Amino acid sequence: MTTTPPARTSPQGTPPQGTPPARTPLGALPPREHLRLGQTEIVLDVVIPVHNEERDLEPCVRRLHDHLARTFPYGFRITIADNASTDRTPEVAARLDDAIDEVTAVRLEQKGRGRALRTVWTLSEAPVLAYMDVDLSTDLNALLPLVAPLISGHSDLAIGSRLARSSRVVRGPKREFISRTYNLILRGSLAARFSDAQCGFKAVRGDVAERLLPMVEDSGWFFDTELLVLAERAGLRIHEVPVDWIDDPDSTVHLVRTATDDLKGVWRVGRALATGGLPLDRLARPFGDDPRDRELSGVPGGLARQLVGFCVVGALSTLFYLALYSLFRLGVGSQLANAAALLVSAVINTSANRRLTFGVRGRERAVRHQAQGLVVFAIGLALTSGSLAALDIATGTPTHGTELAVLVTANLAATVLRFLLFRAWVFPDAERRADLDAPQPAAPTGPDHHPGTPNDLTRSAR
């Protein structure tokens, strides 16, 4: 038994037939296409992560293998990912590896479902990667509908949903409550739109996994939730399949510890998304293979998302500006208070829009962007100062409430103009595309390339 990661091999231990698709550069993903099935012998790699499952492992693998052999029309592999089991699980896995050609067993010396999936999926040459729990709670008839949209190029990820209207689920009220509460938390805190984050029945395209896995930090049960949230925020398409699901009463999952870890993960991912610390532009997809989709005119790319981001930043900036104005107004006149408050809020607004709304990162051209932002600030200052001057002429001694109302109205007009200038002049599409197409630093490789990646991955002895 070796102590280094195994090379990519077929289930028989020989190099795979054909040449796997070339790795794409770290710019945006290419358009979705139907998989070219002749490029690789293995189309689907189903991973079963296990820890101390000596009793359930063999019936699970044999049932899954029989189902795939009867119903799946392409080459497949079943990979048993043993997470540091201390019982006879490694022996059972090795025996199945020897007995069935399409079964491969690997062993990790550290626990963690996310760690196992990341490791095996990273090493796999299959264009479609899936996983399911060893208890096979999900009806296997949903497996082909799960992976078909990925093979066809329609979707990037696929998940089984126990919360879909047509799903049939048998489980106790405690797990039902926990599952629905968790998904409500995801919707409220991370704006997740997928319905079921925790169902152990998911699949992802290999080219998407290559980009997405290095961004996922968790190595435990929160792994798939983080994977889905990042994919959804990047605009990838997630296909949901209603499933029939029967709860395993002997499940060894520690609910309280898992829930605590999941809440910590929600906080960490939410903070990273709020600060723009994730390069989600590397996961962007263009339109499909219809030539008309690539020559759309008059429809600015990402306009809806940018409008939402700009409005959020603008609303917060306006509140900050009004608070500063009220504070400065205690010691100076209205014109000076307005100019100072607007200047401070404009610098912060430009920085926030640069990173969060228009996706420009790094220090390059940051000074120029701030200078252009100050020009936009000067235009806003002219609008708001002119409004205050007109109010003074019209009323003589306006009340503080009237001043604020006029300033809000003037700022709304300035905001519309600011967005147009930001989009067309300060952060134009051509510049953002140049940032995206620029060479990116190579991602680290090797067993230590990512937090939580195991240092000791061994192939089970035959």
Cα 194 from Cα 183, distance rounded (Å)? 9
Angle (nearest 5°) at CA 154 between 152 and 158: 95
Task: Give yes or no for a contact between 459 and 6, defined as CB atoms under 8 angstroms apart.
Answer: yes
Report the catalytic residues. 224
Cα 295 from Cα 453, distance rounded (Å)? 42
Task: Give yes or no for a contact between 112 and 78, defined as CB atoms under 8 angstroms apart.
Answer: no
Nearest to 16 by CA among 38, 48, 49, 32: 38
Sign, CA torsion 149/151/155/161: positive
Cα 306 from Cα 358, distance rounded (Å)? 7
- In the chain, the amino acid numbered 257 is R
Instruction: From residue 224, give the alpha-carbon distance in Å to each of 102, 244, 251, 391.
Output: 25, 20, 18, 57
DSSP letter for 138, please.
B
Buried b (16+ CB within 10 A) or exposed e, 376-400: bbeebbebbbebbeebeeeeeebee
Q: What are phi and psi of 374, to 5 degrees?
A: -70, -30
